Structure 1
Amino acid sequence: MTVSAPLRHLLDGYASVPAFVLNPAKDFLAVNDLTEALFAPFARVDNLARMTFLDAAARRFFPRWDSFAESIVAGLRHAQGLDPDDPRLLEVVRSLSDESEVFAALWSSQTVYGKTRDATELEHPDVGRLWLTSQAFDVRGSQGQLLVVYQPEPGSASAEALTLLGALHATSRQSSGR
C-alpha cells in the first residue's frame, strides 16, 4: 500500500504539526518531518501497535499508556471487522499476541471502536509534556489509509514545544548531512 503524491505533499505541508498515514494494521505508510522528530525516542518508526507494545520507550512516551494501548487494540479489532482476511493485519495481531502478554489480554477483551478525534498526552525527552488533539481522517480513494494529525492548542506550551522540536530535528538533520 503506497501513499499518493498529492497526499505526500499534504503531509509535507503540515510543517507545524505531526501528520502521518497509517494502514489498518497500524503500519506507518508516510510521515512528515515533525512526526519523525516526535517519534524519535523509539528504536524504529514502523508500526504504531508494535511500538506501543514492544518498544521500551512507549511507557515513558505515552503517560497514559494503558489507555493508549487499549485504543490501539480497539482500532485493530475495528479494522479486522472491516476486513477479517487482511493478511498484514492478521500477521501483526498474531505476532503481537505471541510477543506481548498485555496485547494478548487486551485482544481477548473484544473491545472495538474506531476513533476520529482524541486527546493525546505525550512525554518527549527533548521538549517535555505535550497535550495534543489527535484527528484521524479516512483517505478517500485509498481504502484503508488513515491520515492522522496531532494538533496543539494554538499559542499553548505544546505548540511552542512542537516548534522547538521541529527546530531541533532540522538542526540535527543538517549536522548529520541528511
Structure 2
Amino acid sequence: MSNDLGDFLRSRRSRIQPAEAGLREYGRRRVPGLRREEVAQLAGVSVDYYIRLEQGRGKHVSDAVLDAVARALRLTDPERLHLYALARPTGTVDARPTTASGVYTDTIRPGARLILDALTAPAFILGRRMDVLAWNALGDLVSGFSRVPASERNQARYLFLEPAAPTFYPDWETVAGETVAYLRLDAGLHPDDPKIEALVAELSARSPEFRRHWAAHPVKEKTFGTKLIHHPEVGRLDLGYETLALPGDPDQLLVLYTAEPNSPAAAALARLAERHALTV
C-alpha cells in the first residue's frame, strides 16, 4: 500500500544532519539524516506518535503537531502545505481553494481569454495537472501548443515523453525538477483526482527520468524564475517567467514569459513575431 506521507517525511529527514539541528551524533547510522526519534525530539512529540505518523497511522493529527514536525524538518511553505495535504487526504484541509463555487473547471472565462490576447508577451494558462488550457499567439509561436493534440497538451507529459524536449530546454534537468516539484504539490492537494493518478502512472511507466525525480519527493510552487529555451527558428531565448493565479480560479495559472528590454531575447521575440506577422 502506498504511503506518500511516510515517504515524504523520510525524504525530508534524510536531508538534515544532526549537527545542523543542534543534536549530538551517536551510534552508527545506516541511513543519512535524522533518525525518527530525533525528529520526535525536535518536534516535541513522543517517538511512538511520530513513528505512527510516518507509517500513515496518525489519524486526526492536530495543527500543532504538523506545525512542530514542519519546523523540525525545516519545511518550506510549499512543503508545509504538502505535509498538511498528505496528513489529511480526505479534503479537510482547504489550503488552496478552487473556483468561487468550489468546483474545478478547465473552462477559460471570456475575461481571462481577453486578458491573454491583450498581452504582448508570450503567455498561456495552465490548469490542474499542468494541462495547457489556452495561450496567446506569441505564446504559441514560442511553445507550439497548437501543434499538439488537445489530449496531450500537458507540460509534464511534453517534458518527459517528447524526444525534442531536452533540445528545446537546454537546462532540461532543472526544468524537470521544477515540473515534478509542482506536480507533487498539485497531487497532494488533490489526492482524489483520478486524472493526476493516471498522469503520474503514465509518466512513471514510460520515463525513467520521471521516476527518478518523483522518488525524491520534491515540492515547490512555480511562481517566478528564469527559463532557457532553444527555439527552432530564432535560437536561444533567455526568458523570465511570472505565474499568476487567476482571481476566482486559483487552480488556473496565467504564465507570462518576459524578456529584458533591448536584450537578445527581446530582439529574438520581435523577429519571431515579425516572421509570423504579429504585432508586439
Q: Same fold (TM over 0.5)?
A: yes
CA contact (8 A) 1:20 1:147 kept: yes
1:165 matched to which residue of 2? 272
Q: Distance in 2 between the 1:47 and 1:168 partners?
A: 27
2:177 matched to which residue of 1? 70
Q: Distance in 2 between the 1:145 and 1:167 partners?
A: 30
* Structure 1 unmatched runs, 5+: 172-178
Question: C-alpha offsets along residues 120-174 of structure 1, whole Å, 9 cap, x if unaligned?
Answer: 1111011011111110011121141111000001121101111111222348xxx
Matched, 1:128 2:235: yes
Matched, 1:29 2:102: no
Percent identity over paired residues: 38
SS at match of 1:154: coil
Superposed displacement of residue 41, structure 1: 9.2
SS at match of 2:209: helix
Q: Distance in 2 between the 1:151 and 1:93 partners?
A: 30
* Structure 2 unmatched runs, 5+: 1-105
CA contact (8 A) 1:153 1:159 kept: yes
2:143 matched to which residue of 1? 39
Matched, 1:12 2:105: no
Question: C-alpha offsets along residues 90-139 of structure 1, whole Å, 9 cap, x if unaligned?
Answer: 22111111111110111111011102111111110110111111100111
- Higher RCO (CA 8 Å, separation ≥ 6 residues): 1
Specify which structure has the higher proportion of strand. 1
CA contact (8 A) 1:42 1:55 kept: no
Question: C-alpha offsets along residues 38-65 of structure 1, whole Å, 9 cap, x if unaligned?
Answer: 1239962711111101111111110100
Question: C-alpha offsets along residues 61-83 of structure 1, whole Å, 9 cap, x if unaligned?
Answer: 10100000110000100111221
1:174 matched to which residue of 2? none
Structure whose CA Rg is larger:
2
2:215 matched to which residue of 1? 108
What value does the CA root-mean-square deviation take over the aligned residues? 1.7
Matched, 1:2 2:107: yes
Q: Distance in 2 between the 1:161 and 1:143 partners?
A: 32
2:61 matched to which residue of 1? none
Counterpart AA for 1:166: A
Counterpart AA for 2:107: T
2:161 matched to which residue of 1? 54
TM (normalized to structure 2)? 0.58
Moved over 6 A (4+): none
Superposed displacement of residue 86, structure 1: 2.0
SS at match of 1:115: coil
SS at match of 2:262: coil
Counterpart AA for 2:110: A
CA contact (8 A) 1:118 1:135 kept: yes
Q: 1:99 to 1:6 in 2, by over 3 A?
A: same
1:82 matched to which residue of 2? 189
Q: Distance in 1 between the 2:194 and 2:208 partners?
A: 22
